Amino acid sequence: MEASAIKARLTAPLGERSGRARAADPAFKWLLTGLAALILVLIAFFFFFLAGKAEPAFSKFGVLGFIFDNDWNVSKSIYGALPLLVGTLITSVLALVIGVPVAVATALFVTEMCPARFKSPLTVLIELLAAVPSVVYGLWGIFVLVPFLKEPSQWFADTFDFLPFVGGTVAGPNYFIAGLILAIMILPIVSAISREVMATVPTDHKEAALALGATRWEMIKTAVLPYSRRGITGAAMLGLGRAIGETIAVVLVIGNSPTIGKQIFDQGYSLAAVIANEFGEAANDPLHSSALIAAGLVLFVLTLVVNALARWVVTRAEKKNGKAFTGSTITAQTPIATVVSES
């Protein structure tokens, strides 16, 4: 009886429904629209709030002067954020270069090659990395990685000094150690999202590739990775956002030197690290406090730019893949080897 009554209410003509039933959909639509607009309002509020607090620093040094001046000297009340911006970008790029391939390879192994009885334990172990506090990563880095990797890093710097940004004397804490720690920290989120995306690849796509004579690697290359490209890109951008904003772990292992290093084994600084380190002592200095808030604003805008760039890359990849798919033709007379090699 209850099921038939519900069905009768849902299938009744719109004119015969009560006013409350007819108003539910518009109310729900406006509720969701308001919640979505609230996010934009919060972003705008954060931007203008930070801009207002950073106005003294921008007025004295100028916006471009603050961002691109290569001198952060607290004792002389000179604040140029370029060394901090460069340190943030270097460590974040290193984290992506090191962490994303490992995360994607891990996701591929779990979804395509791992025996069924090992999938759940391996997945749990990877996700447990996200539960480790960042300060623990930092302490592990300063007490374990720094002394352990100093000699191998010096050998690498001496052997491959012909490469750009490689060579010289290896400092203790440095860009590379910070990037390595960040790579480990972003691995769980990138791997988890990539794994979920790869799990949605249609089975018939993979079976079709194997039926055409593809090996397991060729099936992954032609069916799994192209289908998962958007998700992997999004996962990498989320990892990049985590790496850009990480604070405590970077403070402990980057060296806290407000200069631009000439190679990846030099000490440096980052925007988040300088805010964490100096905000307490800046409480009685309005200009210093304003400069730190300005650094936070630069970090905020950098994160927005990275996300916008990521969205543009994903959209462009969608259009490119769509054109490639619609422009390709495979006939019954096409040799199997040709299909696999062209894919």
Q: Are residues 34 and 154 in the same domain?
A: no
Specify the amino acid at residue 47: F
**Domain annotation covers residue 137:** yes
**Domain annotation covers residue 231:** yes
**Domain annotation covers residue 5:** no
pLDDT of residue 19: 62
Ranges assigned E (strand) in 158-288: none
pLDDT tier at 41, thresholds 50, 70, 90: very high
* Residue-number span of the structural domain to which 268 is assigned: 54-324+332-342
Which of 318 and 84 is assigned the larger pLDDT? Answer: 84
Q: Are residues 249 and 338 in the same domain?
A: yes
pLDDT of residue 87: 92
Q: Which residues contact 242 (CB under 8 A, 6 or more apart)?
A: 182, 185, 186, 189
pLDDT of residue 304: 86
Q: Are residues 158 and 80 in the same domain?
A: yes
Report the 10 Å Cβ neighbour count for 156. Answer: 18
Q: Are residues 232 and 273 in the same domain?
A: yes
- In whole angstroms, what is the distance from residue 247 CA to residue 274 CA? 9
Average pLDDT, the chain: 83
Residue 318: give its domain's CATH number: 1.10.3720.10
Task: Collapse the DSSP code of 88 into the 3-class scheme (helix H, G, I; strand E, B; otherwise coil) and give the result.
Answer: helix
Would you mind telling me the total number of residues written for the chain in this entry?
Answer: 343
Q: Are residues 164 and 20 in the same domain?
A: no
Q: Are residues 267 and 184 in the same domain?
A: yes
Q: Are strands 78-79 and 72-73 parallel, antiparallel or unpaired?
A: antiparallel
pLDDT of residue 207: 86
Task: Collapse the DSSP code of 161 into the 3-class scheme (helix H, G, I; strand E, B; otherwise coil) and give the result.
Answer: coil
- 51-107 confidence digits (pLDDT tens): 999 999 999 888 888 999 888 988 888 898 999 999 999 999 999 999 999 999 999
Residue 42 host element (H or E): helix 19-53
pLDDT tier at 178, thresholds 50, 70, 90: very high
Q: Are residues 268 and 303 in the same domain?
A: yes
pLDDT at 204 over 50: yes
- In percent, the amount of the chain with pLDDT more than 70 equals 85
Residue bearing tokens 């480790």: 132
Tell me what the mean pLDDT of segment 163-191 comes to.
90
Torsions phi, psi for 167 (to 5 deg): 135, 180
Q: Are residues 277 and 137 in the same domain?
A: yes
pLDDT of residue 325: 45
Which of 15 and 251 is assigned the larger pLDDT? Answer: 251
pLDDT tier at 338, thresholds 50, 70, 90: very low
Q: State the total domains in the chain.
A: 2
Q: Are residues 244 and 114 in the same domain?
A: yes
Q: Are residues 172 and 32 in the same domain?
A: no
**Domain annotation covers residue 74:** yes
CA 276 to chain centroid, in Å, comes to 21
pLDDT at 335 over 50: no
**Domain annotation covers residue 4:** no
**Domain annotation covers residue 8:** no
Q: Are residues 61 and 140 in the same domain?
A: yes
**Domain annotation covers residue 6:** no
Token pair recorded at residue 85: 């911006």
Q: Are residues 107 and 32 in the same domain?
A: no
- 238-281 confidence digits (pLDDT tens): 888 889 988 889 999 998 888 888 899 999 999 999 998 888 88
**Domain annotation covers residue 246:** yes
**Helices and strands counted in the chain (H then E):** 16, 2
